[in-house]
Amino acid sequence: MFLLKRLGVLAATLLVVSFVAFLIPYLTPGDPARKILRARVGDLDLDPAALAALRQRYGLDRPLLVQYWDWLGNAVRGDFGLSYTSRTPVVEMIGHALTVTAMLAVTALLIAILLAVPLGALAAVRHGRPADTAITTVTQGFVAIPEYWLAPVLILVFALQLGALPSAGWTGPASMVLPCLTLALRPMSYFTQVTRASMIDVLESPHMTAARARGLPFGVAMVRHGIRNALLPVITLFSVWLAGLLGGSVVVEVIFSIPGMGRLMYESVVNNDVPAIQASIVCLVGLAVLITTLTDVVYRIVNPTVRSAHVSA
Amino acid sequence: MSLLDERPPTLAKPGWPPSLVIGGSLFALTLLVLLLAPWLLPFDPAAQDLANRLAPAGGAHLLGTDHLGRDVLSRLLDGGRFSVSIAAITLAISAVTGTLIGIVCARRGGWLDELVTRICDVLLAFPEIIVAMFLVAILGTNYLTLILALVIGGWTPFARLARGVTLEIESRDFVEAARTLGCGKWFIVFRHILPNAASPLLAHAALRFGHKLITVGALSYLGLGVQPPDADWGSMLAAAQPYLTRDPGLVLYPGLAIFLTALSVTLIGQGINVRRNRRA
């Protein structure tokens, strides 16, 4: 029942978002056919015959809802049309870009978690002491660093001065280091703060006291009873950030010229490449809603108390 | 009490939390400097001096000159006015609309609440910058659409927070008492809910400010925000990028300005939270 309802919401959301995406060329001032030609040839006085031909070829002279129905039918079959600028199927472009961005996002988030969990746990254990203050202050400061500043600084130091890493491009593991570090900084700060907060709660809970009273060494108690319980909120946050980073690495991808989703969207926006914009919106919303739904489902399987809470709500 | 926590309970320090004091004074100073910028500017921020390009810091030009020979310090002060005011305006509008929507949703419930929650879910799935990027692309680049785009991308966290806080306050006894006494809906909102919701919302707004400032800068950096001849910190950073090795300062200063301003307001937000927790 719960699953059915969530699937229904997912489908309805996608339908509404797809309609909005479909409407984009009509929301902007100006005639879509004119814009298609302009995006291709960049010429301001266009040949009327070419315009009429284009209008007929793309069926732009038919009623709006008929056009939407056709567009949706094609979209469901994975056909969002050809890119106005590159003339290749948009879906293929998005497929490539998404793989790149997914690699980038997952790597960055893994780095973030690997750094954040020990740091957060350390801060929690040293709650209120200098180590905690230092970790909290620094991670809170990190949140205020813009990535379009961090990236050039990293490039300057590691690529231009030391020559240790490539400054841009997508040519292998070495080229992933700087972008991943840039992307990891902010989630790392948030994850550290969340781990710290939930770890402080766990440390004060009776089962930790019981574990210590049974004579479990501190380290064993921490790993077996502490970190495992403190990780739950971090996992939720991970899925939120994953959905966000799939689209949100625009600046980093532009700076490091990485052929990912963010740069694809940026370029399609700059070039007014409507099919690419439409397909990216639908794909990203679809993915984001899917990820949140999956997280909810997994959460309910892992944690039965949520299930009863949902029923009573 | 846990066995692991053997230190004495922290002394409740009276007065203002240090983060609030430091952040507050830093931000006040920034605002003052930016407000007085027209009288403080050592040079015209737009005046080019091509004979004196990329001059090093020191001398007449305190922070040197950029690739067109313009005074960097003057441009920083002038650019900050755009960055900070756009961030502040969009944040204020987002906060007010979001809060109103959240309160109305919490009180009305039903389909309206469900609908707004779904819209929030979809918008929250997109980072603010993507929403803004698409909207700027659709509506064109000018200040009005820039602000509109940032508001559409930014009201959701406030709506969500206000909704949660309202639901929580509504379940308290004093609201029930007020209702029993026959107080009207809006009287309760203004007399009981808003005053109690103000402090978490204010803290949240302060914590969001840095994020807004960074997003405004990012849009300008991508060429979709503040348009030439105006320049903000983000577009200054973008313009300085090609000269990264020749004159790293050009990239460092605007970034540092964004960082320090964002940090100061974040500190204010944390200070408000500390004060709130202390009272609770």
CA distances from residue A155 to A104, A117, A161, A246 in whole angstroms, order as listed = 17, 27, 8, 23
Alpha-carbon distance A150 to nearest alpha carbon in chain B (angstroms): 8
Query: Which residue in the set B122, B134, B218 is minimally distant from A269, CB to CB?
Result: B134
- Is ipTM > 0.85 here? no
- Contact between chains at B266 and A144 (C-beta distance less than 8 A): yes
Check pLDDT > 70 for residue B10.
no
Angle of CA points A32, A36, A38, to nearest 5°: 110
A65 burial class (0-12, 13-18, 19+ CB within 10 angstroms)?
A: exposed
Contacts of A132 in chain B (CB under 8 A): none
CA distances from residue B7 to A125, A137, A219, A227 in whole angstroms, order as listed = 12, 21, 19, 22
Give residue B98's pLDDT: 92
Give residue A310's pLDDT: 43
What does the alpha-carbon distance between residue B40 and residue A71 come to, in Å, rounded to a whole number?
57
Query: Which residue in the set A9, A145, A247 is minimally distant from B127, CB to CB?
Result: A247
Contacts of B244 in chain A (CB under 8 A): 152, 155-156, 160
Tens digits of residue pLDDT in A231-283: 777 777 887 788 778 766 888 888 888 888 888 888 888 887 888 888 888 88
pLDDT band at B90 (very low <50, low <70, confident <90, very high): very high
Give residue A227's pLDDT: 75
- Contact between chains at B210 and A144 (C-beta distance less than 8 A): yes
- Contact between chains at B244 and A152 (C-beta distance less than 8 A): yes
Using alpha carbons, select from B40, B42, B91, B34 the residue that is nearest to residue B65.
Answer: B42
pLDDT band at B1 (very low <50, low <70, confident <90, very high): very low
Contacts with B, A 152-211, CB within 8 Å: 152-153, 155-156, 160, 203-205, 208-209
CA nearest to A17 within chain B: B122
Structure token digits, residue B79: 């650019």
| SS (HEC) of B100-146 | HHHHHHHHHCHHHHHHHHHHHHHHHHCCHHHHHHHHHHHHCCCHHHH
Query: Which residue in the set B2, B10, B258 is minimally distant from A128, CB to CB?
Result: B10
- Contact between chains at A285 and B125 (C-beta distance less than 8 A): yes
Do the Cβ atoms of A253 and A263 come closer than 8 Å? yes
Q: Which helix (H) or strand (E) holds B229?
A: none
What does the alpha-carbon distance between residue A208 and residue A202 come to, in Å, rounded to a whole number?
7
Contacts of A149 in chain B (CB under 8 A): 237, 251-252, 254-256, 258-259
Give residue A35's pLDDT: 67
Give residue B240's pLDDT: 80
pLDDT < 70 stretches in chain A: 1, 28-32, 34-46, 58-59, 61, 247-248, 302-313
Using alpha carbons, select from A210, B270, A134 the residue that is nearest to residue A202.
Answer: A210
CA nearest to B129 within chain A: A248
Share above pLDDT 70 across residues of chain B, in percent, rounded to a whole number: 88
Can you tell me the mean pLDDT for B145-154? 86
B96 burial class (0-12, 13-18, 19+ CB within 10 angstroms)?
A: middle
Q: Which residues, at least 6 apart from A44, have a Cβ–Cβ distance to it below 8 Å?
A: A38
Alpha-carbon distance B134 to nearest alpha carbon in chain A (angstroms): 7
Structure token digits, residue A257: 């010229």
User: To the nearest 5 percent, what fractions of chain A are helix, strand and coil?
Assistant: 80, 0, 20
The one-letter code for the residue type at A47 is D
Tens digits of residue pLDDT in B42-78: 777 777 776 676 767 676 666 777 777 677 788 888 8
Alpha-carbon distance A56 to nearest alpha carbon in chain B (angstroms): 24
Give residue B96's pLDDT: 92
Contacts of A289 in chain B (CB under 8 A): 121-122, 125
Contacts of A202 in chain B (CB under 8 A): none
Q: Mutate which of A149, A249, A250, A254 to disrupt the B interface (most B C-beta within 10 Å)?
A: A149
